[in-house]
Amino acid sequence: MSPSERTSASGYCVVFDTRLVPEQDPEEAWSQARALLESLQADDPDFKYAIEVWDRRPGYRISRDELVVKAVASAYEEMTGHPIGYGGGLGSNIAAIGTADTHYLAYEGIPCVNAAGPAPREWVAHAANERLPIETLVKNSQAVALTILRYFGL
């Protein structure tokens, strides 16, 4: 593309939302991102970039032996009829990563998890038109209530 065919640099914006796992060092992740951008700039002097950090937090782990994890897993299994998935990847329902407010609690020594119930295809999360069926909201609310009962041994 010739310089006259290019639009202004302000015409483009790329947002990276990177969720770190416990083994990743936040500074190393940022260093790798900067190195990539600098290599792009070295290849194209017209390429300009700026980095704006909105949040920076390391991942964390929680043991499956923690009472809160056992309570979530027990409630989920009772609600769905099958065991919970662990790990935070596709197909899992419970994660121990620093991607929500649980991060702040975990670093204060409060064991916590990110947990989700079954997600139907019509559930659209983290999008402009975020939505889920009322039945899913009700089931997940029931799962939270059951988790609280399990946690307190009721």
pLDDT digits (tens, 9 = 90+) for 70-123: 898 888 888 878 887 776 554 455 555 545 677 788 888 888 877 665 566 666
Q: How far is CA 20 from CA 109, 127, 152, in A?
A: 19, 21, 31
Selected residue with higher pLDDT from 49 and 100? 49
Q: Where are the domains of the chain?
A: 1-59, 67-151
Amino acid identity for residue 120 in this structure: P
pLDDT digits (tens, 9 = 90+) for 127-138: 788 888 888 888
Q: Which pLDDT value is given to residue 93?
A: 55
Q: How far is CA 32 from CA 14, 27, 57, 79, 91, in A?
A: 16, 9, 16, 42, 29
Contact predicate 112/68, CB 8 Å: yes
Whether residue 17 is predicted with pLDDT greater than 60 in this model: the reply is yes
Q: Which pLDDT value is given to residue 50?
A: 83
| Residue 4 binned pLDDT confidence (cut-offs 50, 70, 90) | very low
Q: What distance in Å separates the CA atoms of residue 104 and residue 100, rounded to the nearest whole number?
A: 8
Helical (H) or strand (E) element with 115: strand 114-115
Whether residue 152 is predicted with pLDDT greater than 60 in this model: the reply is yes
Q: Which pLDDT value is given to residue 150?
A: 92
Q: Which pLDDT value is given to residue 43?
A: 93
Whether residue 21 is predicted with pLDDT greater than 80 in this model: the reply is no
Reading the block at residue 75, the tokens are 């409630």
Whether residue 125 is predicted with pLDDT greater than 80 in this model: the reply is no
